[in-house]
Amino acid sequence: MKTHIMNTLAQHTIKMSLVAIAMTSVFSPAIADGYGLAQVNRTSLKLDKWQCKRCKISTDTQGSIGAGLAYNDGSDPRFGNTSGTDKDGLVGHLDADVTLKNESGYRTEITANKLGYDNGSATLTTGKPGQYEVAFGYRGIANYDTNRALTPYMVKRDAMLLPEDWQTGATTGQMVSLIDSVKQAELMTQRDSLTLDAHYKGDFYKAELDYQHQERSGQGAFSGNLLTNSAMLAQPIDDSIDNLGAKIYFNGDGWLAGINTMLSQYKNDHDALSWDSAFSPTFGAAYSGQSATAPDNKAYRIAGNAQFSDNGQQILMHTGFSRFTQEQTFLPATINGPSPDLPSANLDGQVDMIEMTIKYSGRITSELSLRASYDYKDRDNKTEIHDYPQVITDSYFSGTATNPEYDRTRQKAKLAAKYRFSRNVYLDVGYEYDHNNYSDLDRETLHESSLYGHLSYRPSHAWSFRFKAKAQDRSGSEYKPVSRTDSPSNPLLRKTYLADREHQEYKLSANYTGSALFSASASLHISQDDYTDTQIGLTDIDTSGYDISGQYRVNEDLSLNAFLNQDWRDSEQAGSSNFSTPNWYTTADEQSTVVGLGILYQNLLDKTLSLGVDYNYSDGQSDTQVSQGLTTPYGAYFSTSHNVNAFADYQMSESIALRFDWIFEQYQDADWSNQGMSVDSIPNVLIFGDLSHDYNAHYFGVTLSYSL
């Protein structure tokens, strides 16, 4: 393995110096991957001298393949988020990490990680590193929520159907067959993506092509509403995204320019979701409802980048254009009774985005460097504006409404300077101005000024300290509540994202890296948001927290690491029950704690055995209380987990290794919105019941691997 890394590094260094790598990281991700390089005095470099003399190009097939078998406790599928699969009982997987090379530098890499599990991946990369490469990839990502969502509905393509003998009720309590009809449904999503990437690097250019096809399946929670009655449904998810990207970049002496394009398409196999109403119709004959699902849509983007550097100064320019279109055929406004005419067959929606950036950075003197940038982003909704009939929750027609545009133009200007007082101390200060123009919102303009600075002090090689501070002030044009809605908001209400705000944040951190055996870091941070003009709405947020972490290598074989993090976030909100000045108040106090301990013991039994164990504890909770004279606390809202991840890696022979894994998780959570509830707890909402978790689950795995 080690030689393999060395080889790769040697080859890379021919093309790119470490300095260049560091510099590229300054630039935007779009031009990362080697193209941020300032090609300074390249010609005078004696590249031959950089050749790793000791490195030999091996033509062997290297790496290992493995097969594993495990027992997984899948009784609560949520454990699958940790173990990688929700299957209960024996599960198998394949792992691989194989590299094939020949003398001409041609190389093929095969990797597999837990292939066979829902959360598994595999890649096949082939090509000549540094010249051209083609990579195929597969990756599965599963997200498990619960398999205990109780519902009487059955899924049939786009329809959610009730049992044939279902008897509707005006309230959930009156649905006589409800308790006998409910079955457990699983809420989870599985994403499977296939990727194909190819890139080619010429002398003065680089071309890249990426394709990704991602399919999503599973079931998610959906709320089917008919007037004042609602049913929670396990909505089937079957959709896909295709992305095709192409880039070409050219570079010369002190410059770099390129074009970056992307095509994207979203397809949903479900055009609509319809459901039988479990409730007796409130009015008329609304026995079923229908709702649109996420519509098929397309997007493309074309962007150009250019970058010039000279004498320690860089200018970067970027401009891009994106278009998003959507022309899914409209569903009828209602399926209950005659549907009012729609103004068109589909939205024929089109949103164009233009973005432009110009950035400058330069070293003025050896102590002082400056950065400046200007960003422009414009979202222009070109969809035609029509009067659309409004049907309230598939029940009754309530006049017309026009589609709002929500256009936005955002301009950001930044100016920053970094001054190095001495080798040990530097100060970085900056100012940022963010200006937004909106349409169809309560404010037409919103602008924010930010001032920030950080002071870095490195008194010795071992110690470094950093203090960061930031202050922001946000304001805008007159606040005029939108009048589009039937229920106007309280004139004193200020929406959080548009409200005047004063923000401050501070962070102090310390690092110790003085010993090869021991390193540690600690930081402390606080922030405060004050919504200065808000009488009703979110008024204050205070956060605070700290992080401590340390690594200790006791000796060559034994190392320890630990971390602790705690965060608090307290927010305050005010409301009015009589559409007047505030008369009720809410506080939401959130806190999280994460603790981790890890031990790695290597080179046991004559360097054939490694042991490792990680323990993680995490706890998050939120306490909300509403007070209007009397204080009413909300119920429990928390999650707590203890997680142990232990392994033993035993090298049985030169080529055969055996690995044992043990994962244990104790997990508990609760949400007052469903805790202790049954399907008929709420008269007008047919719910999934109690969705909280409380489990102890184990995963025992054994993997046999063979080194090639």
Partner 1 sequence: MKLITNLICVFDVKNAAALILAVLLTACGGDDGEPGNPGEPGGPPATDISSLNVEVDEVIFTHGVATVNYSVNNQDDEPVVGIPSSTYIAAQLLPQGFTNAGNTSQWQYFTSESCTSSCTGELVDHKNGKYSYTFSAAFDGMNEMSYMPGATQRIVIKIGGDSLPDGTALPTTNQNFDWQDSGEVAYTRNLISMETCNTCHNDLAFHGSKYNEIETCVTCHSEGKVSSNDNIFPQMIHGKHLTGFPGSLADCQTCHVNDETLTENMNWARVPGMEACGSCHTDINFPAGEGHPAQVDNSNCVACHNPDWTMSVHDGGNDEALAQFNAQITAASLSGTTVTFSIKLSNPESGEVYTDSADKLNFISRLGVETNWGTSFDYSSNSAKRLTISSETPDSGADGIYTYQVTGLTIPTGSETDRGAIVIKGSICANGNQLADCEMETSTVLVLQASHQFFDTTNITATGRRVVVTNETCSTCHVLTQLKKHSGERNDAEAQCQLCHNNFKTADETAQNPQATSSDYKHLAHTLHAGMRSNYADIKYPGDIGNCAQCHIEDEDSVLTAALPLDSAVQPLMLNDGSFTSPTAAICSACHTSDSAKNHMTQQGAVFMGTEEDATSGTESCATCHGQGATADVLTVHPIK
Site residues, partner 1 (CB under 8 A) = 170-171, 173-174, 227-228, 280, 282-283, 486-487, 577-580, 583-584, 627-632, 683-684
Pick between residue 171 and residue 456 the one whose CB is nearest to partner 1.
171
| Residue 483 CB, nearest approach to partner 1 (Å) | 12
Pick between residue 392 and residue 600 the one whose CB is nearest to partner 1.
392
User: Which phi and psi angles does 605 have, rounded to 5°?
Assistant: 45, 60
| Residue 625 CB, nearest approach to partner 1 (Å) | 12
| Residue 577 CB, nearest approach to partner 1 (Å) | 5
Pick between residue 174 and residue 645 the one whose CB is nearest to partner 1.
174
User: Strand order of the sheet with strand 159-161?
Assistant: 154-156, 159-161, 272-276, 288-292
User: What is the helix (H) or strand (E) element at residue 102, kind and residue range?
Assistant: none
Q: How far apart are CA 407 and CA 287, in angstroms?
A: 39
Nearest to 505 by CA among 532, 539, 545, 535: 545
Q: At 622, is the secondary structure helix, strand, or coil?
A: strand
Amino acid at residue number 483: S
Q: How far apart are CA 459 and CA 424, in angstroms?
A: 6
Pick between residue 329 and residue 631 the one whose CB is nearest to partner 1.
631
User: Tokens 């196999």 map to which residue?
Assistant: 269
| Residue 677 CB, nearest approach to partner 1 (Å) | 15
Residues facing residue 89 across a β-bridge = 72
| Residue 281 CB, nearest approach to partner 1 (Å) | 8
Pick between residue 580 and residue 603 the one whose CB is nearest to partner 1.
580
Pick between residue 168 and residue 189 the one whose CB is nearest to partner 1.
168
| Residue 176 CB, nearest approach to partner 1 (Å) | 14
Pick between residue 44 and residue 578 the one whose CB is nearest to partner 1.
578
| Residue 278 CB, nearest approach to partner 1 (Å) | 14
User: Which phi and psi angles does 44 have, rounded to 5°?
Assistant: -80, -10
Burial of 67 (0-12, 13-18, 19+ CB in 10 A): middle
Residues in the chain, overall count: 708
4, 62 Cβ separation under 8 angstroms: yes
Q: How far apart are CA 117 and CA 80, in angstroms?
A: 10
| Residue 347 CB, nearest approach to partner 1 (Å) | 28
Nearest to 546 by CA among 528, 570, 563: 563
| Residue 584 CB, nearest approach to partner 1 (Å) | 8
| Residue 671 CB, nearest approach to partner 1 (Å) | 18
The tokens describing 508, both together, are 């102090």
Pick between residue 166 and residue 664 the one whose CB is nearest to partner 1.
166
| Residue 536 CB, nearest approach to partner 1 (Å) | 15
| Residue 171 CB, nearest approach to partner 1 (Å) | 5
Pick between residue 20 and residue 685 the one whose CB is nearest to partner 1.
685
Nearest to 7 by CA among 47, 50, 57, 64: 57
Per DSSP, the residues of 491-521 read TTB--GGGS-EEEEEEEEEEEE--SSSEEEE
Q: How far apart are CA 692 and CA 148, in angstroms?
A: 9
Q: How far apart are CA 545 and CA 585, in angstroms?
A: 25
85, 78 Cβ separation under 8 angstroms: no
| Residue 580 CB, nearest approach to partner 1 (Å) | 7
Q: How far apart are CA 214 and CA 138, in angstroms?
A: 10
Pick between residue 84 and residue 169 the one whose CB is nearest to partner 1.
169
Report the 10 Å Cβ neighbour count for 511.
Answer: 17
The tokens describing 136, both together, are 């195929």
| Residue 683 CB, nearest approach to partner 1 (Å) | 5
Q: How far apart are CA 221 and CA 216, in angstroms?
A: 15
Pick between residue 596 and residue 683 the one whose CB is nearest to partner 1.
683
| Residue 681 CB, nearest approach to partner 1 (Å) | 12
Residues 76-86, buried b or exposed e (16+ Cβ, 10 A)? bbbbbbbbbbb
The Cα diameter of the chain in Å comes to: 87
129, 105 Cβ separation under 8 angstroms: yes
Pick between residue 684 and residue 696 the one whose CB is nearest to partner 1.
684
Nearest to 300 by CA among 349, 261, 246, 351: 261
128, 100 Cβ separation under 8 angstroms: no
User: Tokens 């159907």 map to which residue?
Assistant: 161
| Residue 229 CB, nearest approach to partner 1 (Å) | 9
Pick between residue 39 and residue 177 the one whose CB is nearest to partner 1.
177
Pick between residue 204 and residue 283 the one whose CB is nearest to partner 1.
283
106, 43 Cβ separation under 8 angstroms: no
Q: How far apart are CA 667 and CA 477, in angstroms?
A: 48
Pick between residue 287 and residue 546 the one whose CB is nearest to partner 1.
287
14, 47 Cβ separation under 8 angstroms: yes
Pick between residue 551 and residue 681 the one whose CB is nearest to partner 1.
681
Residues facing residue 190 across a β-bridge = 142, 217
